[in-house]
Amino acid sequence: MQHLIKNQLSRLTAHLVVALAAMVGIGGATRVMEAGLACPDWPLCYGSFLPGHQMNLKVFLEWFHRFDALVISIGLLILLILSIIRRAILPLWLPWVSGLMLTLIILQAGLGALTVLQLLPSGIVTAHLAVALLLVGIISACHQGLIYELSQKRVNSDQFIQNSSVFIKSSFQSQKWWPPLAVLTTLVVYSQCLIGGLMATQWAAQRCLGKGEVCQWLHFHRFGATIATALVVTFIVASLFTDGWSRRQWPLLSFATFLLVLQIGLGHASMQLVLSAPGLTIAHQITAAILIATLSALTTRGIFSRMTIPSKSTLF
């Protein structure tokens, strides 16, 4: 029963990671297509749950963005309820994290309402993005925590340490530098996403390339991208060139490498086309959200690996 419930919640959190990344992408599409005010009221759209004859591409984007947020809210509520009902057999941290995420999605909905009612103010739109990306990172961490709980088999730690201390440290625990570097890398990438979001909500790139205005935002974004890229590369290279546990994370590290290269390519292509290709801009934002989810997953793996001692059969 315990294993079944953890497995079900792990699947739920995996779906929520996808739904949250999609919400960020749809939000980006809504901004690029200037559809943020396509539904003039909130929480309904033209006074109904599903608008009829008013439906067009812009209305659909705004409506679907809200619908995705509703589905996520229901999923997080289910996660919180189950984590409380089954708290005796689930990790102690799960109800608290679930409650935090539900609180954040309510805040997200409130910010979404303000963006409509106050006609898309830059600060509120950026805060809306900040909460969404934070949720992406937290739900990804929650998913990894549940995966670890599923793979975790507690043993007599004293006996295990006495017989296999070197084996544990090299194969089943992250190096001491991993969690701090992973946290720093994730936070810098998150901050870079917010800079990009703030720049986008002010249409700074278009204004700089077209009229030579507010170019400091574009320069700041490029500088931040350089710092973030350097940190991600350092983290990945250091991990892959370290024996034991770190190198065994190569699937996620390789995926992070792919996302980083893709993100740089999308950003460069967007600038070359003077931001005239909405699809590239939307893909740029979705990739950023997935990169945050990936880095958060790696961070969580490193932290959990140092908190507990798995059995020799654990292949985390």
Least confident span in 40-54, 192-206, 226-240: 192-206
* 34-41 average pLDDT score: 85
- Is residue 122 in a domain? yes
Which tokens sit at 206?
């278009």
Query: Do 9 and 138 share a domain, yes or no?
Result: yes
Cβ-in-10-Å burial (0-12, 13-18, 19+) of 86 comes to: middle
Per-residue pLDDT at 160 exceeds 50:
no
**Nearest to residue 298, comparing CAs of 260, 261, 245, 230?**
245
CA angle 16, 134, 117 (to 5 degrees): 95
Query: Do 126 and 200 share a domain, yes or no?
Result: no
Total residue count of the chain as it appears in this document: 316
> How far is 275 from 267, CA to CA, in rounded Å?
9
Query: Do 104 and 243 share a domain, yes or no?
Result: no
The tens digit of pLDDT for each residue in 222-258 reads 899 999 999 999 999 999 998 888 889 999 999 999 9
Which tokens sit at 246?
């770190």
3-class DSSP state of 63? helix
Query: Do 7 and 138 share a domain, yes or no?
Result: yes
Q: Which residue has the higher pLDDT, 197 or 157?
A: 197
Query: Do 117 and 231 share a domain, yes or no?
Result: no
Give pLDDT, residue 185: 97
Give pLDDT, residue 309: 52
* Tally of domains within the chain: 2
Per-residue pLDDT at 14 exceeds 70:
yes
Give pLDDT, residue 250: 92
- Is residue 156 in a domain? no
CA dihedral 58, 62, 65, 67 (to 10 degrees): -110
Percent of the chain with pLDDT over 70: 89
> How far is 211 from 219, CA to CA, in rounded Å?
15
Give pLDDT, residue 306: 82
Query: Do 126 and 174 share a domain, yes or no?
Result: no
CA angle 172, 175, 176 (to 5 degrees): 130
> How far is 171 from 246, CA to CA, in rounded Å?
8
The tens digit of pLDDT for each residue in 115-132 reads 877 767 788 888 989 999
- Is residue 164 in a domain? no
Q: 95 lies in which domain range? A: 1-150
- Is residue 284 in a domain? yes
Task: Work out the pLDDT band at 184, boundaries 50, 70, 90.
Answer: very high
* 104-114 average pLDDT score: 90
Query: Do 230 and 111 share a domain, yes or no?
Result: no
Give pLDDT, residue 289: 95
Please tell me the pTM assigned to this model: 0.87
- Which of 92, 122, 150 finishes a domain? 150
* 207-219 average pLDDT score: 81
Query: Do 176 and 127 share a domain, yes or no?
Result: no
- Is residue 155 in a domain? no
Query: Do 206 and 302 share a domain, yes or no?
Result: yes
**Nearest to residue 121, comparing CAs of 30, 9, 202, 8?**
202
The tens digit of pLDDT for each residue in 262-315 reads 999 998 888 887 677 888 888 999 999 999 999 999 999 999 888 755 444 444
Query: Do 193 and 115 share a domain, yes or no?
Result: no
- Which of 150, 181, 200 finishes a domain? 150
* 45-67 average pLDDT score: 90
Per-residue pLDDT at 161 exceeds 50:
no
- Which of 99, 115, 150 finishes a domain? 150
Query: Do 129 and 184 share a domain, yes or no?
Result: no
* Sign of torsion over alpha carbons 240, 140, 230, 182: negative
SS3 content of the chain, % helix, strand, coil (to 5): 75, 0, 20
- Is residue 238 in a domain? yes
Give pLDDT, residue 152: 67
- Is residue 158 in a domain? no
Judge contact between 260 and 290, C-beta under 8 A: no
Query: Do 190 and 78 share a domain, yes or no?
Result: no
Give pLDDT, residue 270: 84
* 28-56 average pLDDT score: 86
The tens digit of pLDDT for each residue in 68-107 reads 999 999 999 999 999 999 988 889 999 999 999 999 999 9
**Nearest to residue 144, comparing CAs of 1, 17, 308?**
17
CB 211: neighbour CB atoms within 10 A? 9
Going from the C-alpha of 199 to that of each of 76, 165, 218, 243, 279, the distances in angstroms are 30, 50, 7, 41, 18
Task: Work out the pLDDT band at 1, boundaries 50, 70, 90.
Answer: low
